[in-house]
Chain A
Amino acid sequence: MRPLTEAETRAVFEKLGRYIGENIQLLVDRPDGTYCFRLHRDRVYYLSEKLLKVAASVPRDNLVSLGTCFGKFTKTQKFRLSVTALDFLAPYAKYKVWVKPGSEQSFLYGNHVLKSGLGRITENTAQYQGVVVYSMADVPLGFGVAAKSTQECRKVDPMAIVVFHQADVGEYVRSEDTLT
């Protein structure tokens, strides 16, 4: 377990910034305690100082997970955000997409969101912008990347993909073994 280096921090913040923009400050600088990021076995964890002090006493080989896992660094040092970060992305998301009840299940199975399943989308969403996907009842389902900007979404045909799937809460069941 170790703190992130500057390059790693930059990569993580860039990725997070694509979804929550400048609200990362609210994650870094919290009024209710000191929270920090730590790296353990290529995975980035977000945890409070209190928890960090306790976790420091666990041997490295025996430590499985600590706090919230935000994602992991791949072999080529690229940061990949995982669904376990959704709890922190959802309240601060800048661009949101609401999915109709009919295609919720499709998204939860890992498919992309089609135009026919699109309920609402934030105005001014640029193409390839990171978005958080909600159900019509404002329950966060996952996050992805907007395949079309809002303008284009209005004009495109119903079978076109509007949001690329990146992570959904169905992964808690599907990839139970690999999530930390």
Chain B
Amino acid sequence: MAAVRVEEVLAAAEEREAEKRRSVTVEKELELEFDLGNLLALDRNPPAAAGLRGAGPRREALLRALARDNTQLLVARLWELPAERAGGAGGPLVARLPEPAFRLPREKPPPRPRPPTRWEQFARLKGIRRRKRTSLVWDEQAKEWRRRWGYRRAGGDPARAWLAEVPAGADPQEDQFARLRREKRERVARNELNRLRNLARAHRAGTTVPAAPLHPTGHQSREELGHVTRVARVSTASLGRFQPRLPKEPAEPPSRSGGRKRRFEPLLGNLAAERSRQLELLRDMGSKKPVLDITRAVNKQLRQEEAEAAAAKGKKQSQRGKRGRRQQRPGRSSK
């Protein structure tokens, strides 16, 4: 009894070990393509189509297993990369990734070329080229290399300058410190103004979209053609007021408010004018009514035939005598 149980336990333990080991190795029909620079693994194996169709826990399980297997393969590849300890002996193990092979698309569109600023135009005209400045300047006072501007700049802190000489032609009563401060403020303001102007110029140049062509190109959509028709209608000396309508064009003229608000005639406006307008409308409607030639002709023909038939029958009856039935004609017309 005990031996059987021990054997069972050993077999279960071995199975579990095998399971763990099995989970590390993954079998795939096609090898995956790796781009370790982007941490990318491409699996071109066709998935189990039957299991993935339709939502459900089975589909979830299949997808999860697929993701786990592919991640296992990727991580195994990453472990094969040359690694080193970052930050000395005790630091974390860091793998050195190769150059990315897969070109990812840009997240944002590339910057469009902006128009040159006024200075750039001038510089191009004069042939002035940009001279690269060194970031450090030798400070004679402190006898060391100091920044050109900023914290601990060469030439001392301007806020702590305790002496401001009065220049030769200046007013002796004027406050030089105030003048210096004011001039700096003005310089800053002018610089900012020019920067904004350049920005505005660039922005304006970028937003002028070329207008859609008004002549037929063969590539215009229905809306574009409608717009073009409207423009064409209005492009007369009277701004389209006396332009005749096309056969299927709607009778309502487009409102001046661009379709936003409907405007009606005043309630108690000129009633005589209203009446004359309505009479004109009636006249237009009456004149355009086509004469129903076909139906009238058909009816006329039918009446003629009936009259002839009646006449023939009448003759026959008079020939036969009074025996002929009198025909009842319901719905006899009369006006």
Contacts and interface: CB of A to CB of B under 8 A. Distances in A.
Contacts of B171: none
B281 A3 contact: no
Nearest to B334: A120
Given A10-B285, A17-B285, A3 B279 contact: no
A75 interface: no
Contact of B267 (A1, A22, A122, A154): A1
Interface string B264-288: 1111110110110011011001100
A58 to B, nearest CB: 12
Nearest to B292: A126
Interface in A96-112: none
B299 A124 contact: yes
Interface stretch (A48-56, A85-93, A171-179): A48-56
B333 interface: yes
B301 to A, nearest CB: 10
Interface residues of A, number: 38
A53 B282 contact: no
Contact of A13 (B274, B281, B292): B281
B279 A28 contact: yes
Given A3-B264, A10-B281, A56-B267, A122 B274 contact: no
A9 interface: yes
Contacts of A22: 282, 286
A9 B272 CA distance: 16
Interface string A53-75: 10010000000000000000000
Interface in B288-335: 292, 295-296, 299, 302-303, 329-335
B271 A49 contact: yes
Nearest to A123: B333
B251 A154 contact: no
A120 B279 contact: no
A55 B264 CA distance: 18
A49 B334 CA distance: 39
Contact of A121 (B267, B281, B303, B333): B333
A127 interface: yes
Contacts of A10: 251, 281, 285
Given A7-B251, A28-B279, A149 B295 contact: yes
A17 B281 CA distance: 12
Contacts, number: 87
Contacts of B275: 28-29, 34, 36
A127 B296 CA distance: 11
A127 B279 CA distance: 28
B299 A56 contact: no
B175 interface: no
A151 B299 contact: yes
Contacts of B80: none
A150 B278 contact: no
B249 interface: no
Interface string A4-24: 011101100110010000101
Contacts of B286: 22
A13 B285 contact: yes
Interface in A131-159: 149-151, 153-154
Contacts of B281: 6, 9-10, 13
Contacts of B295: 126-127, 149
A64 B329 CA distance: 50
B282 A34 contact: no
A120 B330 CA distance: 8
Given A9-B281, A118-B331, A53 B268 contact: yes
Given A5-B252, A34-B272, A124-B296, A151 B302 contact: yes
A36 B333 contact: no
Contacts of A115: 330-331
A29 B334 contact: no
A28 B269 contact: no
Given A17-B285, A121-B331, A122-B335, 7 more contacts: A1-B267, A13-B285, A115-B331, A118-B331, A120-B331, A126-B292, A154-B330
Interface of B: 251-252, 264-269, 271-272, 274-275, 278-279, 281-282, 285-286, 292, 295-296, 299, 302-303, 329-335
9 contacts: A2-B264, A3-B264, A10-B251, A29-B279, A34-B272, A34-B275, A38-B267, A118-B330, A126-B295
- For the complex of A and B, the 6 pairs showing the least CB-CB separation, nearest first, are A123-B333, A3-B265, A2-B264, A151-B302, A28-B278, A34-B271
